[in-house]
Amino acid sequence: MSIMNKKRTRNEVRAEMLEKGQADNVKSTAFSRSRDQKQCPFGEYGTCCKLCALGPCRINPGKSDSMLGICGADADTIAARNFARMIAAGTAAHSDHGRQVTRMFLATARGELQGYEITDNRKLSMVAGLYGIQTDGKSKEKIAEEIGVKALAEFGQQDGELTFLKRAPKKRQELWRELEIAPRGIDREVVELMHRTGMGTDQDYHNLMLQASRCALADGWGGAMIATELQDILFNTPGDLGDTRQIVSGEVDLGVLKDDEVNIVMHGHEPLLSEVLVQASKDPKLQELAKSKGANGINLAGICCTANEVLVRHGIPVAGNYSQQEIAILTGAVDVMAVDVQCIMEGLMNVAQCYHTKVITTSSKAKLPNTIHIELSEGNPVETAKEIIRIAIENYSHRGKVNIPSEKTDAVVGFSHEFINYMMGGTYRQSYRPLNSNIIDGRILGVAGVVGCDRPYSRDLDVHSELVKELIANDVLVVQTGCSALSCAMEGLMVPEAAYEYAGPGLREVCEALGIPPVLHAGSCVDNSRILIALSEMVNIGRTQSGDIDHRVYLGDDISDLPVAGCCPDWVHEKAIAIGHYFVASGVGTFFGPSLQVTNAPGFREYLYSGIAESLGGKWGFGATAGEMAGLIIDHIKEKRSALGLEEQKERVLYDMEMRRKLEVR
Ligand code: NFS
Ligand code: SF4
């Protein structure tokens, strides 16, 4: 396996493809549109309010102290309401995904749905335990049905607490109760936040952010976590395949598309579609049909988070992340792009119309004009998948000029919480103890979760890999999800060899001993919930059964004590803000860039960047560049280390311009 199999930088490849697009009469792409769009400073800095018809009201940067909206709202209230609404929207997105998975899970358990089954028994009994379900003498389908009923009820629950909250460290749970922000039901928190951010309701941003926290927690420890866990039961926990445990490897980047095979690109978020496409593509009849049309086979590749889902479970190749979705079509080699929900650019249609590519929508929640709609059947999804594949096969012969860049990279992936546990301690001694003790002895400085989206800018340096390289050079172990993970995978950071090339000496030693990359791919964006569980586990092992501190592995009693940080260096979607805030409300210092839409609201901004830590332990931070974000993360981790009394042994390895230049993007 080589990490040096890229001849050109991603920027060079992209430029060539965009040129091809122009020659093929593609009117615009996100790259050209992002050059043409001039961002409105009021929106960019967080002080545009269009909540009611008296507005839109805009608070002028520089005059923000004196200016008010017509109702009297000031810059802080306006920015806080906008911010909180993003949290509500993001929570709604992850949670509606979770609801759909739960409905299909329940239908599977009841035998009403073909194509899925209850696969991961280990996780099934773990989740049953959390819901207090007695499993003795029951079939796995019966257990799953009881889980499905309870999980589905949590969306509409009015009182009480979400079940998975009890997976957090005790001290954190107590804090949530004390602040009255333990989420009661998933939908309720979204609705209440929408209500409170409307015109003329909650105008104290401290109070508003309490509900925003409750809502975000209903995402991370609710909707998103339900999505992750039930998907795992249906499709297997990444890296944890029943009796065998293994990480998988896969290839990423445009070079995974094939000249001589039918290419089907799966794009979106819910693995319900991609999983049945994977199954159906193996059907010998469809394989034969493809051959009869002159193709050598059927090639599936992913885009965005659905790509992450099938990559970490099956090693299915990935064509790209968010910003690469139109470029995949520009190759002229995509016979079908099948989409479900979220992060699907409307611009796809303009591009697809210039090629033979058929875009197929599959969810009633997300239709695009001028596309084929084939609803993912709630009765027989495999049949839907076969129909999609047949359309792709028929379309293969309609290709025009094809240009598939040869560039692709290997990635070793599938580091679920369960696999990390296993890889550290083996089958009989599964534990995070080695991780904690490596942190205590300083081999690993701390852990950073680097997650979220990527923006369609043309840059020489990729902000994700630039940031991550600096972190691992400073012995920070990096865990990734989402499009950011795909960026670093494309830059060759997810192979064990990357440790030799980029990691600091301590981290390198650990990676070498375990045979792992210094950057661990944990899955899609809903799988950030895996990181919450990993953090809880790092806390929980610090004390013995009887409650005594075990000094060999003790890193504090709450997530907010851990030398860890979160980062979303290139956020795009509101979902990223919801994720950021559930990390903050879980006690994690979380750093975003390269903008944050709170700049011109001084009171609210300072509250997010520091004041909020007094109650929640976690806080927001902002860095405009990879270097700034890396600095903030490393400083934050060091602060936590010194609060724990861990001796500092190392100075930060600073990446100066010279070193940055050497980090050229491959
Ligand atoms: Ni996350 Fe995944 Fe990508 Fe951002 Fe969109 S695909 S759910 S939102 S852009 S990481
Ligand atoms: Fe203007 Fe207030 Fe209406 Fe917002 S809610 S648009 S600040 S009047």
User: Which pLDDT value is given to residue 427?
Assistant: 63
Q: How confident is the model at residue 247 (pLDDT cuts 50, 70, 90)?
A: confident
Closest C-alpha residue for ligand 2 atom 7: 69
Cα–Cα distance, 365 to 561 (Å, whole number): 41
Closest C-alpha residue for ligand 1 atom 9: 453
β-pairing verdict for 248-252 and 409-413: antiparallel
**Contact assessment for residue 451 and residue 525, using Cβ atoms and an 8 Å cutoff:** yes
Q: Which strand (E) or helix (H) includes residue 291?
A: helix 284-292
For residue range 522-545, list pLDDT tens digits in order: 999 999 999 999 999 999 999 999
Best CA proximity match to 185, nearest among 99, 109, 124, 104: 99
Q: Which ligand is nearest to the CA of 306?
A: 1
Q: Which ligand is nearest to the CA of 302?
A: 1
Closest C-alpha residue for ligand 2 atom 2: 71
SS3 (DSSP) at 18: helix
Give the residue-averaged pLDDT of 360-370: 95
Give the residue-averaged pLDDT of 158-186: 98
The yes-or-no verdict on residue 60 having pLDDT over 90 is: no
**Contact assessment for residue 171 and residue 558, using Cβ atoms and an 8 Å cutoff:** yes
User: Which pLDDT value is given to residue 245?
Assistant: 74
Range of lowest pLDDT (12-16, 207-211, 303-307, 647-651): 647-651
User: Which pLDDT value is given to residue 459?
Assistant: 75
Cα–Cα distance, 147 to 103 (Å, whole number): 11
The yes-or-no verdict on residue 664 having pLDDT over 50 is: no
pLDDT over 90 for what percent of the chain? 88
CA 552 to ligand 1 centroid distance, Å: 38
Range of lowest pLDDT (425-439, 490-504, 639-653): 639-653
pTM: 0.95
The yes-or-no verdict on residue 368 having pLDDT over 50 is: yes
Q: Which amino acid is at 368?
A: L
Give the residue-averaged pLDDT of 173-195: 98
Best CA proximity match to 246, nearest among 624, 579, 515, 542: 515
Q: How far is CA 129 from CA 81, 236, 328, 352, in A?
A: 38, 18, 44, 48
Give the number of other Cβ atoms within 10 Å of residue 614's Cβ: 9
Cα–Cα distance, 132 to 139 (Å, whole number): 16
For residue range 12-57, list pLDDT tens digits in order: 999 999 999 999 999 999 999 999 998 888 999 999 999 999 999 9
CA 71 to ligand 2 centroid distance, Å: 5
The yes-or-no verdict on residue 91 having pLDDT over 70 is: yes
Cα–Cα distance, 25 to 96 (Å, whole number): 37
Two tokens at 25?
Answer: 């009469």
- Higher pLDDT among residues 655 and 403, named by residue: 403
Two tokens at 436?
Answer: 């904690």
User: Which pLDDT value is given to residue 2?
Assistant: 41
Q: Which amino acid is at 544?
A: T
Mutation test of ligand 2: which of 48, 60, 67, 70 has the most ligand atoms closer than 8 Å to its C-beta?
70
Q: How far is CA 534 from CA 115, 447, 602, in A?
A: 31, 11, 34
For ligand 2, residues with CB inside 6 Å are: 49-52, 54-57, 69-71, 73, 78, 199
User: Which pLDDT value is given to residue 460?
Assistant: 73
User: Which pLDDT value is given to residue 431?
Assistant: 85
Q: Chain-wide mean pLDDT for the chain?
A: 93
User: Which pLDDT value is given to residue 482?
Assistant: 97
For residue range 437-448, list pLDDT tens digits in order: 999 999 999 999
CA 181 to ligand 2 centroid distance, Å: 27
CA 377 to ligand 1 centroid distance, Å: 25
* Order of all β-strands in the sheet with 476-481: 519-523, 476-481, 446-450, 564-568, 589-592, 619-622
For ligand 1, residues with CB inside 6 Å are: 269, 304-305, 322, 343, 452-453, 482-483, 525, 572-573, 575-576
Residue 575 alpha carbon, nearest atom of ligand 1: 8
User: Which pLDDT value is given to residue 528?
Assistant: 97
Left, alpha or beta for 253 (phi > 0: left; psi -120 to 50: alpha)? left
E strands of 414-556, at which residues? 446-450, 476-481, 519-523
Cα–Cα distance, 172 to 165 (Å, whole number): 9
Q: Which ligand is nearest to the CA of 570?
A: 1
SS3 (DSSP) at 402: coil
CA 582 to ligand 2 centroid distance, Å: 28
Give the residue-averaged pLDDT of 562-566: 98
Best CA proximity match to 196, nearest among 179, 216, 210: 210
For residue range 287-327, list pLDDT tens digits in order: 999 999 999 999 999 999 999 999 999 999 999 999 999 99
End-to-end CA, the chain = 16
Best CA proximity match to 305, nearest among 566, 527, 577, 578: 527
The CA angle 327-576-411, to the nearest 5 degrees, is 55
What is the full DSSP assignment across 642-657?
A: HHTTPPP--------H
The yes-or-no verdict on residue 5 having pLDDT over 70 is: no
Q: Which ligand is nearest to the CA of 569?
A: 1
Q: Which amino acid is at 32?
A: S
Cα–Cα distance, 579 to 396 (Å, whole number): 39
Give the number of other Cβ atoms within 10 Å of residue 646's Cβ: 18
Q: Give the helix ranges, DSSP H, for 157-270.
A: 170-178, 186-196, 205-218, 224-235
CA 616 to ligand 2 centroid distance, Å: 29
User: Which pLDDT value is given to residue 206?
Assistant: 98
Q: How far is CA 632 from CA 15, 435, 467, 490, 590, in A?
A: 32, 22, 11, 25, 9
Q: How far is CA 380 from CA 117, 387, 430, 605, in A?
A: 13, 11, 39, 50
Cα–Cα distance, 595 to 597 (Å, whole number): 6
For residue range 108-149, list pLDDT tens digits in order: 999 999 899 999 999 999 999 999 999 999 999 999 999 999
Range of lowest pLDDT (153-167, 419-433, 601-615): 419-433
User: Which pLDDT value is given to residue 64?
Assistant: 53
pLDDT over 70 for what percent of the chain? 94
Residue 69 alpha carbon, nearest atom of ligand 2: 7
Give how far the C-alpha of residue 621 lies from the chain's centroid of Cα atoms, to the nearest Å.
19
Q: Which strand (E) or helix (H) includes residue 265?
A: strand 262-267
Residue pointed to by tokens 């076969």: 386
Q: Which ligand is nearest to the CA of 77?
A: 2
Give the residue-averaged pLDDT of 356-381: 93
SS3 (DSSP) at 410: strand
Q: Which amino acid is at 514?
A: L
User: Which pLDDT value is given to residue 4?
Assistant: 47
Q: How confident is the model at residue 659 (pLDDT cuts 50, 70, 90)?
A: low
